Amino acid sequence: MTVLCLVEQDGTGVSDASLRALTFARALAGGRLAAVLFADADVLASGTPAGQELAGYGVSDAYVIEPGQLAGYAPLAWARAVAGLIEGAGATAVLAAGTDRGSEVMAHLGALSGAPMAANCVAAAPSGDGTWQITRQRWAGLLLEDAVLEAPAALLTVATDAVAATPAATPASLAVHPYQPELADGDLAVRATESAERSSGVSLATARVVVGGGRGVGGPDGFAPLEELAGLLGGVVGVSRVVTSEGWRPHKQQVGQTGTKITPELYLACGISGAIQHIAGCASAKHIVAVNSDAGAPILSHAEYAVIGDLHQVIPALVAAIKERNASA
Amino acid sequence: MEVLVCVKRVPMVGGKIVVTGDGQDVDARMSGFAMSPHEECAVEEAIQITERLGGNVSVLTLGPPAAAEQLRDALALGAGRAVLLETDGREWGPIATAGEIAAEVRRRAEAGQGYDLLLLGNEAADTGDYQVGVRVAHTLGWPCVTGIKGIEIDGGGVRARREYRGNEELFEFGLPAVMTVKEGINLPRYPSLPGRLRAKRAVIEEHRPQWRPDGLRKEALRVPETERKQAAVLGTGTDAVPALVALLDELGVLP
């Protein structure tokens, strides 16, 4: 049985979400684990970061669609290429990380084949009768659905927090196969034509520390101490939905079901009550510390530690204490 | 510009999600229902587009008779026409749902009043299938892009923007087209009083499509088992700062 996994890159390596998807796919495969990448075949040459990562995660075959064949991100064309590979590689399941691109390409793949696609799976296993028993996230992970998937080839996206990225016990020997997809008319009608430079600074999704601000911040002018603290800790500010709905901060800073899912070492949630949609975005933080004036706020049943008090006093005092500590160090 | 916005009635969940006794649905008896958040923004975007370019906004939902409430919410904001694809309360999968939306688009085209643009939310808040818009686009043979955070339309062409790993991606394509949008593309307006009155009186077009199964069959819903914690209180007010600094030091996040 061959499981085929769409792999996204991050710089010269494999993205963390794809490493997680590969970990999930390997457990499912029990046979051959294959990867499909839209990249220059050189990035997988032996000794390269991506090549080592794929081999380390147990990938024995990488199918590479090079920019000469298909340049830039084009969701339908990517799906067409993967569809061609399902037959070529004899795949019984195709997986991608439940990222924006992974979800989009898998949706197109489902539409191309008319087959169902199960989004944000956290568990999957073949039942032996041609069906798959799966568990998938609903409500951004606040709810789980047990379901039966009936399809010739299972199409799944893997929830980005389903498993931790874990290399294989023994690395595979990676064979790289350049692949020429047969595209149809119109497959390139939608293609990313411009990609601005990566915005400088730490991104919310990958930040090691996130300082959260909610309704308790009080208004657009209340974020300066949070920004200062985030800066001191090498982190970024994240906010709750009410903050973006009120227009206090831009939406790209929102943590939650309709914003970004964060996975920091520390999430310091200030003046955030802890609505369940917000918890969906921050539950994967390793440690949650709440600063809240209400000792009964729901966030306290998701946090490990709490300070009961007004963030407008606690945060400036914390900033001062850290600065003092730095000065004396 | 004729724009169709597809919306979904979903339970409002606040503090926690409760599953019904049969494990088939979210228990919304106490919480009520609302339009899925990305779709509130899709309605707003459609209204803004027609304010700029002229035309009409239609809004569609596939759901139980009570989903007319969400259609009236959209009418109150400025949509001019509403279509209810009425179900018997059973949950529809994305393939069957997309098929019925495409059927409505074709009905309208046959009536000589075809849509130029379909807007949906990137994913429904409840089922999170991430695929209805894409499947509709395939059925119609229209271009499609998902997760959009900015739309410009001129001369029959669309420029759609979204974020990708901190970068901005730009897509350019022609109409008719399907786009799914994400919250943050705009700040939805509140309904006006005349809008509400107009919505109350509006006639909703109704169809009753036949339920059919998708290849993904729900067995049961359950709330994941998480360790329910109660935070250890480090202290009160600024008195807690030394303990907080010690904790941050222990977690290794101090410079």
CATH superfamily ID and name for B2-207: HUPs (3.40.50.620)
Mean pLDDT for all residues in chain A: 93
**Better-scored residue on pLDDT, B30 or B22:** B22
If asked whether residues A9 and A153 sit together in one domain, one would say yes
A201 part of a folded domain: no
Q: Are residues A265 and A142 in the same domain?
A: no
Q: Nearest CA of chain A to the CA of B203: how many Å? A: 31
Q: What is the DSSP string of chain B?
A: -EEEEEE-EEE--SS---B-TTSSSB--TTT-EEE-HHHHHHHHHHHHHHHHH--EEEEEEEE-GGGHHHHHHHHHHT--EEEEEE--SPPPPHHHHHHHHHHHHHHHHHTT---SEEEEESS-TTT--S-HHHHHHHHHT--EEEEESEEEEETTEEEEEEEETTEEEEEEEESSEEEEE-TTS--PPPPPHHHHHHHHHPPPEEE-PPP---SEEEEEEE--------PEEEEEGGGGHHHHHHHHHHTT---
- Residue A192 resides in a domain: no
Segments forming the whole domain that contains residue A164: 2-178
Distance, C-alpha B194 to centroid of its chain: 25
Distance between CA atoms of residues B146 and B161, nearest Å: 10
- Kindly report the number of other CB atoms within 10 A of residue B154's CB atom: 9
Q: Which of B166, B221, B224 sits opposite A203 (nearest CB)?
A: B166
Residue A303 lies in a domain: yes
Contact flag B15-A195 (C-beta cutoff 8 Å): no
Q: Are B221 and A137 in contact (CB < 8 Å)? A: no
What would the pLDDT profile of B76-86 be if each residue is shown by its tens digit? 999 999 999 99
Subunit contact A138:B228, Cβ cutoff 8 A:
no
Domain assignment present for A254: yes
Mind telling me how many Å the CA of B117 is from chain A's nearest CA? 15
Phi, psi of A178 (to 5 degrees): -65, 140
pLDDT band at B13 (very low <50, low <70, confident <90, very high): confident
Encoding tokens for residue B102? Answer: 């495409």
Q: Are residues A133 and A258 in the same domain?
A: no
Q: Are residues A156 and A258 in the same domain?
A: no
Structure tokens at A274: 């802890």
Domain identity same for A170 and A214: no
Within this chain, do residues A169 and A214 fall inside the same structural domain, yes or no?
Answer: no
Residues A237 and A118 in one domain: no
Residue range B188-208, pLDDT digits in tens: 999 999 999 999 999 999 999
What is the predicted pLDDT for the residue at A328? 86
A116 part of a folded domain: yes
Whether the per-residue pLDDT at A199 is higher than 60: the answer is: no
Please tell me whether residues A168 and A234 are part of one structural domain: no
Q: Considering only CB atoms, which chain A residues are within 8 Å of B170?
A: 192-195
Q: What proportion of chain A, given as a percentage, has pLDDT over 70?
A: 97
Query: Is A138's pLDDT higher than 90?
Result: yes
Q: Tokens for A79?
A: 């799906």
For residue A296, count CB atoms less than 10 angstroms from its CB and return exposed for 0-12, middle for 13-18, buried for 19 or more: exposed
Say yes or no to pLDDT of A194 above 70.
Answer: no
The residue among A127, A161, A178 that closes a domain is A178
B141 CB neighbours in chain A (<8 A) are 186
Exposure on the CB side of residue A201, measured as CA atoms within 13 A: 12
Average pLDDT in chain B = 95
Contact at CB, A189 and B128, closer than 8 angstroms: no
Q: Which of A159, A178, A197 is the last residue of a domain?
A: A178
Question: Does residue A279 belong to any structural domain of this protein?
Answer: yes
Residue A224: per-residue pLDDT: 97
CATH number at residue A88: 3.40.50.620
Nearest to B229 among A118, A259, A302 (CB): A302
Token pair, residue A179, equals: 């692949």
| Residue A228 sits in the same domain as residue A174 | no
Q: Which of A190, A257, A289 sits opposite B173 (nearest CB)?
A: A190
Q: What is the CATH number of the domain that holds A275?
A: 3.40.50.1220
First to last CA, chain A: 58
Does A213 touch chain B if contact means CB atoms closer than 8 Å? no
pLDDT of residue A211: 98
Kindly indicate the confidence band of residue A68, based on its pLDDT and cuts at 50, 70 and 90: confident
**What are the sequence ranges of the domains in chain B?**
2-207
> Does pTM surpass 0.95?
no
Structural domains counted in chain A: 2
Whether A146 is covered by a domain: the verdict is yes
Residues A174 and A217 in one domain: no
Residue A296 touches chain B, beta carbons under 8 Å: no
**What pLDDT does residue A304 have?**
95
User: Is the reported ipTM for this assembly greater than 0.85?
Assistant: yes
**Whether residues A23 and A148 fall in one domain:** yes
In a domain, A314, yes or no: yes
- Residues A159 and A28 reside in one and the same domain: yes
Contact check, Cβ <8 Å, A119/B224: no
A266/B248 CB distance under 8 A: yes
- Contact yes or no for B244 and A314 at CB 8 A: yes
- The reported pLDDT for the residue numbered A195 is 66
Which of A137, A190, A300, A319 should one mutate to test binding to chain B, selecting the residue with the greatest count of B CBs within 10 A?
Answer: A190
